[in-house]
Amino acid sequence: MKKSLLIAALLLACQIIGWSQAKKPTIMVVPADAFCERYGFVQKVNSMGETVSTPDYSRAMKENADIRTLVAAMADFMAKNDFPIQSLEQELKRLQTEDAELAMMTGKNSGADVDETPLERLRRSAKADIILDLDYEIHRLGPQKQVSFNLQAIDAYSSKIISGNTGVSSAANVPLTSLLEECVLSFKDNFLSGLQHYFDDLFANGREISVTLLRYNNCPVDFEEEYTVNGEEYELAEIIEAWMADNTVEGRFTTAAKSANRLRFNQVRIPLYAQNMNGRDVAIDAEAFVKPLVRMLKKTPYKLTVGSSPRGLGDVWITIGDK
């Protein structure tokens, strides 16, 4: 009995040490899309012939002192509760500096410019695990102010809401940070509990991502093509599903769509870390997770031309027949 208790205690101690060494998800506080739309902090982008509005975080942070104050205060609150914070403002400055440096770079011999597609620029963007989406309105009652706001914690990989709360401060003639702190303290425990539950779920069940495989019409095979594996004939789709089962956490994924030209996997649970080519454990996202699958499909017996394109941290497209 004593021996069993000792073993149990040792196992618990190892788990506690392991979890204490684990890296918590990185968090970034950003102005909500609704806030940016309401105050005109948007930029128009042409997407496949259609004009799409996207939040202009840089303008919002430069031109609206209130949102800058609230974002900074919320980030400070999260940091004080031991959640790592990635600064939106610093990340925007980094991207602007990179843009300026790339614009000035020319080849030493040819004078050619550095080429970068919009997709490649997106890949340089911030990679926070959790986005804290902050929307607020300031109500002025004479000399007094009152803040009402909505805060949602969103998984940057799956786009699912992890935790969310609304709050309304009392009316007072005090700094905005004080009114925000009052709102946050009213739901602090529930909000942090939701984040901690998400954190625990990551380590128990892995990150949740989506993977889509597409076929170009010049590809000589489709996902119904059969290959011999261990003396049995299997469709390419079945082989890919078997790979997913072997490489996801506890084989957890859902085949959302399956046809000759398209495969779609949702609720794909991937480990937080994987070994790189040097045998070192590194944090991975959707693109890094599918790299072994891409390499497999390039080899015998498949010998396919394969490309992969990330669509954010938690979604990746794999193409066969071309890159």
Q: Which SS3 state, helix, strand or coil, does residue 82 take?
A: coil
pLDDT tens per residue, range 217-267: 999 999 999 999 989 999 999 999 999 999 999 999 999 999 999 999 999
CATH assignment at residue 136: 3.30.160
**Is the domain of 149 the same as that of 247?**
no
Kindly state whether residue 104 falls inside one of the protein's structural domains. no
pLDDT of residue 108: 53
The answer to whether residue 305 scores a pLDDT higher than 80 is yes
**Is the domain of 270 the same as that of 301?**
yes
pLDDT of residue 43: 82
Q: Beta 42-47 vs 50-55: how paired, if at all?
A: antiparallel
Q: Which of 179, 204, 229 is the last residue of a domain?
A: 204
Instruction: Name the token pair of 229.
Output: 């594996």
**Is the domain of 191 the same as that of 213?**
no
**Is the domain of 130 the same as that of 260?**
no
The residue-averaged pLDDT of 10-27 equals: 48
**Is the domain of 306 the same as that of 316?**
yes
Kindly state whether residue 248 falls inside one of the protein's structural domains. yes
Residue 12 banded pLDDT, cuts 50, 70, 90: very low
Q: Which of 204, 223, 256 is the last residue of a domain?
A: 204
d(CA 30, CA 23): 22
Kindly state whether residue 16 falls inside one of the protein's structural domains. no
The residue-averaged pLDDT of 20-47 equals: 78
Q: Residue 223, Cα to own-chain centre: how many angstroms? A: 28
Q: Which SS3 state, helix, strand or coil, does residue 4 take?
A: helix
- Amino acid (one-letter) located at 153: A
For 116, phi and psi rounded to 5 degrees? -145, 125
Kindly state whether residue 43 falls inside one of the protein's structural domains. yes
Task: Provide the residue range defining the domain that includes 279.
Answer: 206-320
Least confident range of 70-74, 180-184, 252-256: 180-184
Kindly state whether residue 133 falls inside one of the protein's structural domains. yes
Kindly state whether residue 312 falls inside one of the protein's structural domains. yes
Alpha helix stretches (DSSP H) within 56-175: 57-63, 65-80, 88-104, 118-123
**Is the domain of 237 the same as that of 135?**
no
**Is the domain of 255 the same as that of 157?**
no
Instruction: Name the token pair of 36.
Output: 């940016």
**Is the domain of 135 the same as that of 174?**
yes
The answer to whether residue 124 scores a pLDDT higher than 80 is no
Q: Which of 204, 229, 260 is the last residue of a domain?
A: 204
**Is the domain of 293 the same as that of 271?**
yes
**Is the domain of 191 the same as that of 45?**
yes
Residue 54 banded pLDDT, cuts 50, 70, 90: confident
Alpha-carbon separation of residue 150 from 31, 135, 147, 265, 301 (angstroms): 11, 5, 10, 32, 53
pLDDT of residue 1: 47
**Is the domain of 144 the same as that of 246?**
no
The pTM for the full model equals 0.72
Q: Which SS3 state, helix, strand or coil, does residue 191 take?
A: helix
Number of domains forming the structure of the chain: 2
Bigger pLDDT: 26 vs 216: 216
d(CA 8, CA 264): 42
pLDDT of residue 206: 92
pLDDT tens per residue, range 130-174: 888 888 888 888 888 888 888 888 888 888 888 888 878 888 888
**Is the domain of 313 the same as that of 248?**
yes
Kindly state whether residue 92 falls inside one of the protein's structural domains. no
Kindly state whether residue 91 falls inside one of the protein's structural domains. no
